[in-house]
Amino acid sequence: MAAPTDLDYVSFGTPLELLSEDEPLKRPVPLQEQTVKDERGRIQRFHGAFTGGFSAGYFNTVGSKEGWAPSQFISSRQQKAEKQVFQPEDFMDEEDLAEHGIAPREIMTTDDFASLTKDQIRSKAQALSVLAAPIPGATVLEDLIAASRISIGVKLLRKMGWKEGQGIGPRVKRKLQRQRNGAGLRLYGCALPPEDSDKSEEEDDAYIPENVTFAPKDVIPIDFTPKDNLHGLGYSGIDPGKAIIGGVLEEHIHLFSVESERTSNLLGSEGGYSTRKIGVSGQAFGVGVLEEEDDDIYGTESLSRYDTVIGEEEPGDSMYGWSAPYEYSKKNAEFIKDIAYAGRILEGFTKPAKSLSIKKIYLPPELPRDYKPVHCHPILPTSDTGYQKSSDLMTSCRQMEQAAVQNSRHQMNAVLRRNLIEEPTLPGPSSVFDLLSNEAKNRIKEVKQAAEQKQLSQSLPSCIQTVSNNEALRAWQNICGDEIGTFKPFEKIPEKQARYEKYISKLKQGRSDALETSLDSQMTEWERGREREEFVRAAMLYKPSNSTLASRFTQGKHEDDSENVYVVRDHEDDLNDKDEAVKMKMFGQLTRDTFEWHPDKLLCKRFNIPDPYPSSSIVGLTKVKKDKYSVFNFLNVMENAKPHLKQSQSELSTDQKPDKASTPLKSNRRSRWDVPGKENDKKDSLSEFITLARSQSLSERQGSQPDSSEPAIVPKEQTPPTLDDLEEKRPSMDLFKAIFANSSDDESSSEGDSNDEDNQQGQNKSSLIKDPTSLIECQEPCENKTKETFSNKEECQPTKSSDTSENLATEEQFGPRLPPVIPDGTVSLSSGSVFPETIKRKYKEKQNKHKPKMDHKQKRYKKKKKHKKHKHKSKSKKKIIEGCTSSSDSTENSGSDTGASSSVLSTEVLLKRIKSLPTKT
Amino acid sequence: MAFPQPKPEKAEMPSKLLRTVDCKQGAVRAVRFNVDGNYCLTCGSDKSLKLWNPYRGIVLKSYTGHGYEVLDADGSFDNSQLCSCGSDKAVILWDVASGQVIRKFRGHAGKVNCVRFNEEASVIISGSIDSSVRCWDTRSRRPEPIQIMDEAKDGVSSLQVSEQEILTGSVDGRVRRYDLRVGQLFSDFTGSPVTSVSFSKDGQCMLSSSLDSTLRLIDKDTGELLGEYTGHKNSKYKLDCCFSDKDTHVGSCSEDGKVYFWDLVEGSLALAFSIGSGVVQSLSFHPRESKLLTAMEGNVQLWGKQSDEEEMVD
Q: Which residues contact A650 (CB under 8 A, 6 or more apart)?
A: A681, A713, A715, A716
Nearest CB neighbour to A679, from listed B186, B193, B225: B193
Q: A351: distance to nearest CA of chain B, Å? A: 15
Which chain A residues have a beta carbon less than 8 Å from that of B290? none
Say which DSSP state A828 is in: -
Residue A37's pLDDT band (cuts 50, 70, 90): confident
Report yes or no on B3 lying in a domain: no
Residues 6+ apart with CB under 8 A from A30: none
Q: Is A513 exposed, middle or buried (0-12, 13-18, 19+ CB in 10 A)?
A: exposed
Per-residue pLDDT band for B33 (boundaries 50, 70, 90) equals: very high
Report the pLDDT averaged over residues B114-130. Answer: 93
pLDDT digits (tens, 9 = 90+) for A649-660: 334 333 333 333
Q: Residue B215: helix, strand or coil by DSSP?
A: strand
pLDDT tens digits along A324-333: 444 444 444 5
Name the residue among B146, B228, B238 with its Cβ closest to that of A603: B146
pLDDT, residue A721, reads 41
Please provide the average confidence, as pLDDT, over all residues in chain A: 58
User: Which band of pLDDT confidence, cut at 50, 70 and 90, is reported for residue A617?
Assistant: confident
Nearest to A669 among B123, B129, B157 (CB): B129
* Short-list B240, B40, B122, B188, CA closest to A582: B188
Which pLDDT does position B240 carry in this prediction?
Answer: 92
The confidence score (pLDDT) of residue B62 equals 92
Single out the residue of A737, A818, A731, A829 nearest to residue A780, CA to CA.
A829
Residue B274 belongs to a domain: yes
pLDDT at res. A519: 73
Q: Is the pLDDT of residue A911 over 70?
A: no
Interatomic CA distance for residues A739 and B39, integer angstroms? 60
CB atoms within 10 A of CB A810: 22
Has residue A614 got a pLDDT over 70? Answer: yes
CB contact residues (below 8 A), chain A span 606-665, against chain B: 606-610, 612-613, 619-621, 637
Separation CA A368–CA A365 (nearest Å): 9
Q: What is the dihedral of CA A500, A506, A509, A510, to 10 degrees?
A: -100
Sign, Cα dihedral of A201, A207, A211, A214: negative
Number of domains in chain B: 1
Distance from CA of A197 to the nearest CA of B (A): 27
> Which of A6, A596, A602 has the CB atom closest to B146's CB atom?
A602
Return the pLDDT at B149. Answer: 92
Give the per-residue pLDDT at A572. Answer: 62
The C-alpha atoms of residue A509 and residue A35 are separated, in whole angstroms, by: 100
- The rounded distance, in Å, linking the Cα atoms of A204 and A74 is 88
A497 versus A50: which is more confidently predicted? A497
Instruction: Provide, as residue numbers in chain B, all residues whose Cβ is less than 8 Å from the Cβ of A589.
Output: 222-223
Q: For residue A339, name the pLDDT band (cuts at 50, 70, 90).
A: low
Considering only the beta carbons, identify the residue of B110, B186, B311 that sits closest to A667.
B110
pLDDT at B66 over 70: yes
- Alpha carbon A471 to its chain's center: 55
pLDDT at A216: 77
What confidence tier does B246 reach under pLDDT thresholds 50, 70, 90? confident
Mutate which of A330, A586, A603, A635 to test chain B, going by most B C-beta atoms within 10 A?
A603
**Alpha carbon distance A342, A328 (integer Å):** 20
- Chain B positions touching A568 (Cβ under 8 A) are 151
Mean pLDDT of B2-23: 79
- Quote the percentage of chain A above a pLDDT of 70: 29
Amino acid making up residue A745 = D
Pairing relation of β-strands B48-53 and B58-64? antiparallel
Residue A648 has pLDDT above 80, yes or no: no
Q: Report CB contact under 8 Å: A597, B130.
A: no
- Cα–Cα distances in angstroms (integers) from residue A269 to residues A141, A272, A275, A384, B143, in the given order: 15, 9, 12, 105, 74
Which chain B residue has the Cα nearest residue A17? Answer: B24
Instruction: State the Cα–Cα distance between residues A680 and A683, nearest whole angstrom.
Output: 8
B146: left (phi over 0), alpha (psi -120 to 50) or beta: alpha
User: Residues A861-894: pLDDT tens digits?
Assistant: 444 444 444 444 444 444 444 444 444 443 344 3
Cβ count near B208 (within 10 Å): 24
Who wins on pLDDT, A66 or B261? B261
Question: Which residue in chain B has the smallest CA separation from A4?
Answer: B311
> Which residue of B180, B184, B229, B236 is the best one to mutate when testing the A interface, meaning the one whose CB has the most A CBs within 10 A?
B180
Contact A609 B59 (CB under 8 A): no
- Residue A66, pLDDT score: 57
Residue B53: closest C-alpha in chain A: A6
Nearest to B183 among A575, A599, A818 (CB): A599
In this prediction, residue A165 carries a pLDDT of: 78
* B9 within a domain of the structure (yes/no): no
Nearest to B154 among A609, A612, A816 (CB): A816
Average predicted confidence (pLDDT) for chain B: 90
A677 to chain B, any CB pair closer than 8 A? The answer is yes
What is the Cα Rg of chain B in Å? 18
- List the single residue in A607, A620, A669 with the smallest CB-CB distance to B110: A669
Strand partners, B70: B86
Please give the radius of gyration of chain A, using alpha carbons only, rounded to the nearest integer. Answer: 52
Question: Minimal Cα–Cα distance from B229 to chain A, Å?
Answer: 13
* Cβ distance of B155 and A578 shorter than 8 Å: no
In a domain, residue B312? The reply is no
Q: Is residue A214 predicted with pLDDT exceeding 90? A: no
Mark yes or no for CB contact A607/B186 under 8 Å.
no
Contact with chain B for residue A587, Cβ under 8 A? yes
The reported pLDDT for the residue numbered A893 is 40
- Please tell me which of the candidates B147, B181, B192 has its beta carbon nearest to residue A609: B181
Q: Do A1 and B48 touch (CB under 8 A)?
A: no
Average pLDDT over residues B29-58: 92
Q: Do B155 and A669 touch (CB under 8 A)?
A: yes
Query: Does residue A7 belong to the interface with chain B, where contact is any CB pair within 8 Å?
Result: no
B309 within domain boundaries: no
φ/ψ of B20, rounded to 5, equals: -120, 130
Q: What is the DSSP string of A324-340?
A: -GGGGSTTHHHHHHHHH
Q: How far is CA A685 from CA A635, A638, A795, B143, B249, in A?
A: 12, 10, 21, 34, 42
For residue B157, give how far its alpha carbon lies from the nearest alpha carbon of chain A (Å). Answer: 9
A9 to chain B: nearest residue by CA? B56
A590 three-class SS? coil
Q: Are B42 and B26 in contact (CB under 8 A)?
A: no
pLDDT score at A554: 63
Closest CA to A746 of A907, A897, A917: A897
Pairwise CB contact (< 8 Å): B59 & A15 = yes
Asked if the structure places residue B34 within a domain, the reply is: yes
- Kindly indicate the confidence band of residue A913, based on its pLDDT and cuts at 50, 70 and 90: low
Amino acid at site A12: F
Alpha helix ranges (H) inside A742-833: 751-766, 774-796, 806-814
Chain A residues whose beta carbon lies within 8 Å of the beta carbon of residue B148: 620
Q: DSSP assignment of A419-466, as one string?
A: HHTTPPPPSS-SSGGGG--HHHHHHHHHHHHHHHHHHHHHH-HHHHHH
* Length reported for chain A: 921
| A14–chain B Cβ distance below 8 A for any pair | no
Smallest Cβ distance to A668: which of B130, B192, B211?
B130
- The tally of CA atoms less than 13 A away on the side-chain side of residue A152 is 7
- pLDDT recorded at residue A585: 80
Average of per-residue pLDDT across A365-375: 82
Determine the residue among B174, B185, B226, B237 to mutate to test chain A binding: the one whose Cβ has the most chain A Cβ atoms within 10 Å: B185
Specify if B311 maps to a domain: no
Of A432-436, A573-577, A856-860, B59-63, minimum mean pLDDT range = A856-860
User: Which residue in A has a C-alpha nearest to residue B311's C-alpha?
Assistant: A1
- CA triple A256-A260-A265, angle to 5 deg: 125
Tell me how far the alpha carbon of residue B294 is from its chain's centroid.
11
Question: What whole-number distance in Å separates Cα of residue A505 and Cα of residue A268?
Answer: 123
CA dihedral over A318, A319, A320, A322, signed as positive or negative: positive
Domain that holds residue B206: 16-304
pLDDT greater at residue A863 or residue B15: B15
Whether A391 has a pLDDT exceeding 90, the answer reads no
Comparing A221-230, A623-632, A829-838, B234-243, the range with the smallest average pLDDT is: A829-838
pLDDT at position A550, please?
55
* Residues of A whose CB is below 8 A from B225: 585, 587-588
Residue B257 is part of a domain; what is its CATH number? 2.130.10.10
A596·B120 Cβ contact <8 A: no
Q: What pLDDT does A840 receive?
A: 44
Tell me what the mean pLDDT of segment A3-20 comes to: 65
Measured in residues, chain B has a length of: 314
Mean pLDDT (whole number) for B95-99:
91
How large is the average pLDDT for residues A264-288?
45
Q: Could you tell me the CA-to-CA distances from A22 to A19, B67, B83, B120 in Å, in that order?
A: 9, 11, 21, 34
Q: Which residues of B touch A582 (CB under 8 A)?
A: 189-191
Q: How far is A621 from chain B (nearest CA, A)?
A: 8
Between residues A571 and A194, the one the model is more confident about: A571
The answer to whether the beta carbons of residues B49 and B63 sit under 8 Å apart is: yes
In a domain, B310, yes or no: no
- Predicted local distance difference test score (pLDDT) of residue A497: 81
Q: Is the per-residue pLDDT at A285 higher than 90?
A: no
C-alpha of A64 from chain center? 71
Q: Is there a contact between B300 and B23 (Cβ–Cβ < 8 Å)?
A: yes
User: Which of A19, A602, A615, A619 has the most B C-beta neighbours within 10 Å, making it the best mutation to test the interface with B?
Assistant: A602
Longest dimension (CA), chain B: 58
Instruction: Search chain A and give the residue with CA nearest B111.
Output: A667
In order of A108, A519, A522, A664, the CA distances from A530 in angstroms are 110, 11, 14, 45
Q: How far is CA A817 from CA A152, A637, A820, B104, in A?
A: 88, 10, 9, 27
Q: Is the pLDDT of residue A454 over 60?
A: yes
Mind telling me how many Å the CA of A368 is from chain B's nearest CA?
24
End-to-end CA distance of chain B: 39
Q: Which are the contacts of A69, defined by CB distance < 8 A and separation ≥ 6?
A: A62, A63
- Mean of pLDDT values over B217-237: 90
Most confident of A42-46, A154-158, A577-581: A154-158
pLDDT category at A96 given cuts 50, 70, 90 is confident
In this structure, are residues B309 and B18 in contact, taking their beta carbons and an 8 Å threshold? Answer: yes
Nearest Cβ partner for B311 among A2, A356, A673: A2
Which of A33-37, A452-456, A870-874, B131-135 is most confident?
Answer: B131-135
User: Which of A606, A618, A670 is the best substitution to test chain B (most B C-beta atoms within 10 A)?
Assistant: A606
Of B128, B131, B177, the C-alpha closest to A684 is B131
Long-range contacts of A21-28 (CB under 8 A, 24+ apart): A21/B64, A22/B64
Out of B120, B147, B151, name the one closest to residue A600 (CB): B147
Residue A438: per-residue pLDDT? 76
pLDDT at residue A760 tops 60: no
Query: Closest Cα of chain A to B276: distance in Å?
Result: 22
Assess A702–B contact: CB distance below 8 Å, yes or no.
no
pLDDT confidence band for B118 (50 / 70 / 90): very high
* Per-residue pLDDT band at A106 (split at 50, 70, 90): low
Q: In what order do the strands lie in the sheet with B241-243?
A: B241-243, B249-253, B258-263, B269-274
* The pLDDT of residue A877: 44
- What is the structure's pLDDT at B175? 93
A666-697 CB burial, b ≥16 within 10 A, e <16: ebebbbbbbeeeebbbbbbbbbbbbbbbbbbb
Q: What is the ipTM of this complex?
A: 0.90
pLDDT of the residue at B194: 93
Handedness of CA A648, A653, A658, A664 (dihedral sign): positive
B-facing residues of A in 297-356 (CB < 8 A) are: 354, 356
pLDDT reading at B133 higher than 80:
yes
